[in-house]
Amino acid sequence: MTTTTSSPSSAAAAAGQSWYENASAAQIHEEQLRRVELFNGRAAMLGFVIGVLTEALTGQGIIHQIGLGTLFFQG
């Protein structure tokens, strides 16, 4: 009759592998979050520049361009 038991070293190796996988996943998540936030910031800057240029070309502010001018500036 043969019984197998886990040795303490194999349990420690499994815990070490789990830690490594968790640390690796956290690092990948941070890198993805950094790239997404960088893209989001660039898109916001581009939107702002487009809004300013459109305002300069049309003579109307952003509020008037999107149709909210009558709500804020009645007269």
Q: The tokens 């660039």 sit on which residue?
A: 42
Cα–Cα distances in angstroms (integers) from residue 42 to residues 29, 47, 65, in the given order: 20, 9, 22
3-state secondary structure of 62: helix
pLDDT of 60 above 60 = yes
CB 20 within 8 A of CB 27: no
Of residues 14 and 68, more confidence is placed in 68
Q: In this predicted model, which residue has the larger pLDDT, 15 or 39?
A: 39
Q: What is the DSSP letter of 59?
A: S
- Put simply, whether the predicted model's pTM sits higher than 0.75 gets the answer no
**35 and 28 in contact (C-beta within 8 Å)?**
no
